[in-house]
Structure 1
Amino acid sequence: MTLRVQILKEKYSQSLGLPFKELLPETAIKQVISELKIKYKKRLFDPLITLWAFLSQVLDTDKTCHNAVSKIIAHLAQEEVEVPSTDTSAYCQARARLPEELLEKLFNFSAQSLEEKVTTEYLWCGRNIKVIDGSTVSMPDTVENQKEYPQPSTQKPGCGFPIAKIGVIFSLLTGAAVALCIDILNTHDIKLARKMYSFLKPNDVLLGDRAFCAYADMFNIKKLDCDAVFRKHQSRTTTMRKGKIIGDCDKLVTWYKPKSCPKGLSKDEFDALPSSITVREIYYYIVIPGFRTQQVSLITTLLDKATYSTLEIVGLYGKRWDVELDLRHIKTTLGMDILRCKTPSMERIEIHVYLLAYNLLRSLMWSAGTTYNTPPNRLSLQGTRHHLLNFIPKLETADSKRRIRLYRSLLKIIVHKVVPDRPARSEPRVTKRRPKAYPRLTKPRQELRKQLQTA
């Protein structure tokens, strides 16, 4: 058993461990395991092997546990030692033994490690920009999942899938996910956001859409020594007649504390709010053909027009769309849109592993971009994953000197194809490929099977 574990550790450290050595070194994983006082028996799937196998699984296009176990068997068969069973139960049980807190800490560690690589030359007006947004993920229709993450109330029982709401904060500079919150479907985005404000660091600027633009949030973000740039909520009327004009379509306005406590705040939190705050409102038009939005009103706590000009802030908000692309990378490119695990705790672990794998790819893109003077955010995440998966078998079998050369070649190849910058690109929101003409499921499958049997 000890020999097989050592072989697998060497294989994973040579393949996944080398590209991600700075962001997720083996010593950091062992340190977190020690801090959490995780005790485990001497078995093939210890926490380190299980974690690396899990990461390899979500990075692969074939995400089945059978494929993950098959890789482990292939690693061991090459060294002519006893191979484990092809049954996936041992690996699945090992994944279930991974504590949620372990994955949370490793995810936070990866985000912090990548953020520390950012130098002042990449900052916006000397500030680090974070972007926030919410999304949903679907999961298998099991009793446990339905109980904790119920399906939409508009769907009949047995005809839908459990859905979880996730809130994520991304770094605009590195593209990495720096904070995560998971809740039920009908949770408002702003409730998720308030659980993630603690991940903001002083001097950060938080960028978001109109869902996050609330009186209490503008105050609380400023209280953290951070600033916010949000689109104005539709419930607030837009007029240029009130406020202090400081530029074309740019003014300082006073917001007053709501008369009654909003639903998302406790009475103590509401009482702690000041009677008024001063914010900056920027109003502009979008005249690009194909854009649904034609009028935009921004609210920000960046009040100094000399340091943060109107055009700088308008241009910054134009980059908010990057968060949509980051979520698409995680859900579509990596495949997190539909989760595979059967229990709520494993779903949360799976989400954290996906975000950890995503951050590891972002770190590889950052290393490649900064090494070869290419903007890291202009590199292809899908291309990076393809190159990594194709280089992994070569990295596993190479000696130490050749492995370093292969790693440098990997970084060089990643920057070969830069994603073109296509501002103001617009496409019709239609699909060409027709779906199959099957009707929707309107009854539980058991009832439909009985109808087929009695027909």
Structure 2
Amino acid sequence: MSETALIDNCLTQMPPDSIVMADAGYGIFSVAHKVQQAGLSFLFRLSRQRFDRLRKTATLVDEGANWKTWSSQWQPSPSERKKHPDLPADAELSVQLHEFETDEGKPLYLVTSLDESVEMLSDLYARRTDVETDIRNIKVVLDTENIRARGVEMFHKELMTSMVACNLIVQFRRQAAELVKVPPRRMSFKRICTTFRQFLLSSMYTTAADWRERYRFALGIALQDKLPNRPGRKYPREAYRRRTKSTHFKKREKRSEAEEE
């Protein structure tokens, strides 16, 4: 099934008054309509083609030096109705369209149900990078992309155990960040994870007092895991390169009888 179809279960798990942010792959009417039906707000990035199509019938309401805002009534296209026949005949969303330039000078196209300023929405959408970084840490640093379980039940157990480990490291990082008076994300997740493993999980502790003493010691080591200051550092966002698949476990093809003779 498609990724957009998987959003249904996510919406039921979100707290009330949540804001759903998504990239252009989810920036379609059917997803926005599901979010609104769930009683939530949305902030989606749009592709240039879809943004231009919506802007044709939109009304310009405000503009600045490097941004513009339109008010629009978003309706599903004929092709989208064909793909989603369950959409009501009168399905329509009152939205705002925003176009502005990023720090790299590239245009960004957003659609939202929120009645907020462009500055607030651009800062909010920039937080999507935190989500991408968290997913990378879970997949790469904790190696959950290489789950070794073969059964469904064991897969769920291994994945959930990895998430417990992730939450422990996040809380450990939060405490270390509080001691050095910086935001938690200024602390390196990978280095914090290494400190947690080397100074806490490498030995067994038989009493709670020993564990607390060792925990305080590890927390002191973690104070050095702060990311370096990089003032004024700006560079275009780039996607991570797709890593090559290993063929180490490729099955050998059976030889024909003629080759064996």
Instruction: Pick the TM interval, shorter chain.
Output: 0.7 to 0.9
- Return closer, same or farther for 1:331/1:386 CA change in 2, 3 Å cut-off: same
Q: Is the 8 A contact 2:43 2:112 kept in 1?
A: yes
The question of 1:226 aligning with 2:226 is answered no
- Return closer, same or farther for 1:345/1:313 CA change in 2, 3 Å cut-off: same
- Return closer, same or farther for 1:262/1:391 CA change in 2, 3 Å cut-off: farther
Q: How far 1:385 moved relative to its partner?
A: 1.6
What's the C-alpha RMSD, in Å, of the aligned pairs? Answer: 3.4
Describe how 1:346-385 pairs up with structure 2 within 5 A: 346-385=154-193
Q: Is the 8 A contact 2:35 2:42 kept in 1?
A: yes
The question of 1:252 aligning with 2:71 is answered yes
SS of 1:288's partner is: coil
Describe how 1:3-18 pairs up with structure 2 within 5 A: none
Describe how 1:47-446 pairs up with structure 2 within 5 A: 187-238=1-52, 242-248=58-64, 249-259=68-78, 261-263=81-83, 265=84, 267=86, 270-271=87-88, 274-286=90-102, 288=104, 294-303=106-115, 308-392=116-200, 396-397=204-205, 399-420=207-228, 423-426=233-236, 444-446=251-253
Residue of structure 2 in register with 1:55 after alignment? none
Deviations 1:183-222 (A, max 9, x none): xxxx322112222111111121121101112223223323
- Return closer, same or farther for 1:354/1:398 CA change in 2, 3 Å cut-off: closer
Deviations 1:53-98 (A, max 9, x none): xxxxxxxxxxxxxxxxxxxxxxxxxxxxxxxxxxxxxxxxxxxxxx
- Return closer, same or farther for 1:428/1:357 CA change in 2, 3 Å cut-off: closer
Q: Is the 8 A contact 2:100 2:107 kept in 1?
A: yes
SS of 2:31's partner is: helix
Deviations 1:361-391 (A, max 9, x none): 2222223334543211222221122111122
SS of 1:196's partner is: helix
Q: Is the 8 A contact 2:95 2:111 kept in 1?
A: yes
SS of 1:238's partner is: helix
- Return closer, same or farther for 1:235/1:355 CA change in 2, 3 Å cut-off: farther
- Return closer, same or farther for 1:296/1:421 CA change in 2, 3 Å cut-off: farther
Whose relative contact order is higher, 1 or 2, with alpha carbons under 8 Å and at least 6 apart? 1
Provide structure 2 residue ranges, at least 5 long, that are not aligned to the other structure.
Answer: none
Residue of structure 2 in register with 1:95 after alignment? none
Opposite residue 8 of structure 2, the aligned amino acid is R
Q: Is the 8 A contact 2:71 2:96 kept in 1?
A: yes
Q: How far 1:318 moved relative to its partner?
A: 2.1
Instruction: Please give the alpha-carbon distance, in whole angstroms, between the structure 1 residues aligned to 2:216 and 2:96.
Output: 47
- Return closer, same or farther for 1:235/1:343 CA change in 2, 3 Å cut-off: farther
Q: Is the 8 A contact 1:212 1:230 kept in 2?
A: yes
SS of 1:374's partner is: coil
Q: How far 1:274 moved relative to its partner?
A: 4.5
Provide structure 1 residue ranges, at least 5 long, that are not aligned to the other structure.
Answer: 1-186
- Return closer, same or farther for 1:387/1:226 CA change in 2, 3 Å cut-off: same
- Return closer, same or farther for 1:190/1:407 CA change in 2, 3 Å cut-off: same
Instruction: Please give the alpha-carbon distance, in whole angstroms, between the structure 2 residues aligned to 1:274 and 1:446.
Output: 57
Instruction: Please give the alpha-carbon distance, in whole angstroms, between the structure 1 residues aligned to 2:191 and 2:8.
Output: 35
- Return closer, same or farther for 1:221/1:330 CA change in 2, 3 Å cut-off: same
Residue-pair matches, total:
248
Q: How far 1:416 moved relative to its partner?
A: 2.4
Q: How far 1:297 moved relative to its partner?
A: 0.5
Opposite residue 288 of structure 1, the aligned amino acid is E
Q: How far 1:322 moved relative to its partner?
A: 2.2
